């Protein structure tokens, strides 16, 4: 007669191996997406952003363009409501507004760093960087996908609860930042109005 513990062990093993093909399939799809993103070395895309904050009755809105230049340069140009340029090159962020310009290290700006590390790593197809900084959740395939990122660093997790990115093919369509205090930033990207150079 087979004991209950043996039966439970067999069921557990069956459950683990039954889930493996799905996990491997998702890992393959994520790698396919990263390879597709890495193939594009330069792109410019228009965006609209909306910040929902508990202290404000009306969300803050802005619009502009995002430019990515491989391997690690990201330029965010806000056109409305005012004109400001954020130039992120490696670990330095430079803010230009009119004739004024100032630079800081990304390590001193945890919220900006979270945006940069997640967005830039996906644009670069850098799965290793994403895995180093975030717990990754992935669903879908190359045609339509969603990535959820949760910070591993406790200091960063104090500010950021979760990041979500979704898109089609090698284009990001939606980027959401959920702050730990409940505030929400939603960025819509418009690939039909972008310029892509491979």
pLDDT confidence tier of residue 3, bands split at 50, 70 and 90: low
Higher pLDDT, 8 or 86: 86
CATH number of the domain residue 172 falls in: 2.50.20.10
pLDDT tens digits along 133-183: 899 999 999 899 999 999 998 888 888 899 999 999 999 999 999 999 999
What's the pTM value of the predicted model, to 2 decimals?
0.80
- Number of domains, the chain: 1
Q: What is the DSSP string of 86-134?
A: EEEETTEEEEEETTEEEEEEGGG-HHHHHHHHHHHHHHHT-HHHHHHHE
Please say if the pLDDT value at position 22 is more than 90. no
Give the pLDDT confidence score for residue 104 in this predicted structure: 94
List the domain range (segments joined by +) for residue 18.
Answer: 4-197
What mean pLDDT is reported for the chain? 84
Residue 198 CA: distances (Å) to CA of 8, 36, 71, 154, 169: 53, 11, 13, 37, 15
């Amino acid at each position: 007669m087979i004991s209950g513990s043996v039966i439970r062990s067999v069921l557990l093993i069956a459950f683990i191996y039954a889930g493996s093909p799905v996990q491997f399939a998702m890992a393959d799809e994520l790698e396919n997406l990263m390879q597709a993103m890495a193939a594009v070395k330069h792109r410019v895309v228009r965006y609209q952003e909306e910040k929902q904050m508990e202290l404000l009755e009306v969300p803050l809105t802005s619009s502009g363009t995002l430019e990515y230049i491989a391997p690690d340069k990201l330029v965010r140009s806000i056109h409305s409501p005012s004109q400001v340029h954020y130039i992120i090159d490696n670990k330095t962020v430079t803010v230009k507004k009119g004739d004024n310009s100032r630079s800081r290290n990304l390590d001193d700006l945890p919220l900006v760093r979270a945006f940069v590390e997640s967005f830039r790593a996906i644009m670069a197809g850098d799965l290793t960087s994403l895995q180093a900084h975030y717990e990754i959740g992935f669903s879908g395939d190359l045609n339509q996908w969603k990535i959820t990122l949760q910070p591993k660093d406790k200091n960063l997790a104090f500010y950021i609860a979760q990041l979500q990115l979704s898109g089609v093919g090698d284009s990001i369509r939606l980027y959401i930042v959920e702050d730990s205090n409940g505030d929400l930033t939603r960025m819509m990207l418009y690939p039909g109005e972008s310029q892509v150079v491979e």
